[in-house]
């Protein structure tokens, strides 16, 4: 892997929608494929998320302005259809002309290339080799005074798997000191352990009914209850880390929040999700009344779901 080839591959990432383009193997250059340790068996979805991980790591040490510029140009932090649009966004943020920003982008590319060349990581760092695949993801959230989420997964064992597994996820908005959520396994799993991994993160230690052989699948349902719905950030999303052919998100608003609007999040980067009050309400937002269901064909590393602007309870 030579530096000029790597620079050429990095420049090519900026075309069109950047990392969000379809057909990853068709536009990802040979030097970056080598840096990832990619094989013909890796899918486009796996390549996309592995590339995002590699670039996120190797831009960490860049000066802040160059880091933000590069991430904007490749579409890591901004979802705009053309490079020209992303360059204008970067120019506004840096208070520079587009011409200057383009020149600085070449500098950022050189620094990223050098970081990749001189900080070679194990190829295994970019790939998830645990041998599971989700055949479907289904999240159903009921919002009242409390919030009750049901997570349904059909889990396929790609290789022989022991009956013990773990599930990691976040509940944005729940902070230390808030009343703890409760977890209940309704189908397929027994919960052995609940561990809080961070301010908003949890890991569940799970036991399947038996060891699974290659090709075996099991349906699972886990229910999570948050005592105060108002403690949640105003969205529910699925952001699969493994390839899955289908995802569904449902939110039941009931008739308790007449001042609330909702909209669909279809293939956004998780970094685009902001805290309450920071996400703009789109013009096509609809009244959040009753049950809203959305189906998606997700890509690994992107987020899919439903957002709302506020939870204003009906006056007593």
> Are 305 and 235 within 8 A, CB to CB?
yes
* Whether 253 and 178 share a structural domain: yes
Could you say which of 73, 108, 126 is where a domain stops? 126
Q: Which helix (H) or strand (E) holds 306?
A: strand 303-308
> Are 305 and 236 within 8 A, CB to CB?
yes
Could you say which of 126, 159, 193 is where a domain stops? 126
Percentages helix, strand, coil for the chain, rounded to the nearest 5? 30, 30, 40
> Are 54 and 6 within 8 A, CB to CB?
no
The percent of residues in the chain predicted with pLDDT above 70, rounded, is 86
Predicted confidence (pLDDT) at residue 16 exceeds the cutoff of 50 = yes
Per DSSP, what are the bridge partners of residue 152?
138, 221
Q: What is the mean pLDDT of the chain?
A: 84
Could you tell me the pLDDT band of residue 316, with boundaries at 50, 70 and 90? low
Looking at the structure of the chain, the number of domains it has is 2
In a domain, 316, yes or no: no
- Residue-wise pLDDT for 272-281, tens only, equals 786 655 677 8
Per DSSP, what are the bridge partners of residue 219?
154
Per DSSP, what are the bridge partners of residue 155?
134, 218
* Whether 136 and 251 share a structural domain: yes
Could you tell me the pLDDT band of residue 189, with boundaries at 50, 70 and 90? confident
| pLDDT, average across residues 92-99 | 91
Could you tell me the pLDDT band of residue 124, with boundaries at 50, 70 and 90? very low
Domain with 236 in it: 132-308
* Whether 99 and 174 share a structural domain: no
Could you say which of 84, 100, 126 is where a domain stops? 126
Predicted confidence (pLDDT) at residue 120 exceeds the cutoff of 70 = no
The DSSP code for 117 is H
* Whether 166 and 278 share a structural domain: yes
| pLDDT, average across residues 291-301 | 90
| pLDDT, average across residues 45-70 | 84
Q: What per-residue confidence (pLDDT) applies to 161?
A: 63
Predicted confidence (pLDDT) at residue 6 exceeds the cutoff of 80 = yes
In a domain, 315, yes or no: no
- Residue-wise pLDDT for 201-254, tens only, equals 888 888 888 877 656 778 899 999 999 888 888 899 998 876 677 899 999 998
* C-alpha–C-alpha distance, residues 6 and 208, integer Å: 44
* Whether 107 and 153 share a structural domain: no
* Whether 187 and 282 share a structural domain: yes
In a domain, 197, yes or no: yes
The DSSP code for 115 is H
Instruction: Provide the 10 A C-beta neighbour count for residue 73.
Output: 25
Predicted confidence (pLDDT) at residue 139 exceeds the cutoff of 60 = yes
In a domain, 171, yes or no: yes
Between 157 and 128, the more confident residue is 157
In a domain, 303, yes or no: yes
| pLDDT, average across residues 28-42 | 89
* C-alpha–C-alpha distance, residues 3 and 90, integer Å: 26
Three-class secondary structure of residue 176 per DSSP: strand
In a domain, 314, yes or no: no
In a domain, 313, yes or no: no
* Whether 117 and 141 share a structural domain: no
In a domain, 190, yes or no: yes
* Whether 83 and 100 share a structural domain: yes
**pTM for the predicted model, two decimal places:** 0.59
Instruction: Provide the 10 A C-beta neighbour count for residue 67.
Output: 19
Predicted confidence (pLDDT) at residue 21 exceeds the cutoff of 80 = yes
| pLDDT, average across residues 30-39 | 90
* Whether 74 and 153 share a structural domain: no
Q: What is the DSSP string of 43-74?
A: -HHHHHHHHHHHHHHHTTTS-HHHHHHHHHHH
Phi, psi of 91 (to 5 degrees): -60, -40
Adjacency order of strands within the sheet including 235-238:
235-238, 303-308, 261-268, 286-287
* Whether 148 and 174 share a structural domain: yes
* Whether 111 and 221 share a structural domain: no
> Are 56 and 76 within 8 A, CB to CB?
yes
* C-alpha–C-alpha distance, residues 136 and 262, integer Å: 24
The percent of residues in the chain predicted with pLDDT above 90, rounded, is 41
Residues constituting the chain: 316
| pLDDT, average across residues 105-112 | 95
* Whether 57 and 196 share a structural domain: no
Domain harbouring 141, CATH code = 2.60.40
Q: What per-residue confidence (pLDDT) applies to 75?
A: 87
């Amino acid at each position: 892997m030579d530096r000029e080839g790597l620079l050429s591959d990095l420049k090519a990432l900026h075309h069109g929608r950047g990392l969000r383009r379809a057909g990853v193997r068709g536009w990802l250059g040979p030097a970056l494929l080598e840096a990832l340790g990619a094989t013909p068996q890796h899918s486009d979805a796996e390549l996309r998320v592995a590339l995002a991980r590699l670039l996120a790591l190797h831009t960490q040490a860049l000066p802040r302005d160059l880091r933000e510029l590069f991430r904007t140009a490749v579409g890591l932090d901004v979802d705009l259809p053309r490079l020209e649009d992303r360059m204008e966004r970067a120019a506004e943020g840096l208070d520079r002309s587009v011409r200057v920003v383009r020149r600085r982008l070449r500098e950022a590319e050189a620094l990223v290339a050098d970081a990749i060349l001189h900080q070679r990581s194990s190829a295994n760092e970019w790939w998830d080799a645990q041998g599971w695949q989700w055949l479907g993801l289904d999240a159903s959230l009921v919002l009242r005074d409390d919030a009750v989420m049901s997570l349904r997964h059909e889990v396929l064992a790609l290789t022989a798997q022991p009956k013990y597994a773990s599930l990691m996820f976040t509940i944005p908005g729940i902070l230390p000191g808030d009343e703890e959520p409760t977890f209940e396994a309704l189908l397929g799993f027994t919960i052995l352990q609940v561990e809080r991994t961070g301010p908003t993160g949890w890991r569940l230690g799970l036991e399947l009914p038996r060891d699974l052989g290659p090709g075996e699948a099991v349906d699972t349902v886990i229910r999570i209850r948050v005592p105060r719905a108002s403690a949640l950030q105003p969205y529910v999303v699925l952001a699969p880390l493994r390839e899955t052919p289908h995802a569904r998100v449902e939110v039941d608003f009931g008739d308790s929040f007449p001042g609330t609007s909702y909209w669909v999040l279809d293939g956004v980067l998780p970094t685009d999700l902001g805290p309450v009050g920071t996400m703009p309400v789109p013009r096509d937002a609809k009244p959040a009344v009753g049950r809203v269901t959305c189906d998606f064909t997700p890509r690994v590393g992107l987020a899919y779901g439903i957002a709302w602007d506020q939870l204003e309870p009906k006056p007593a």
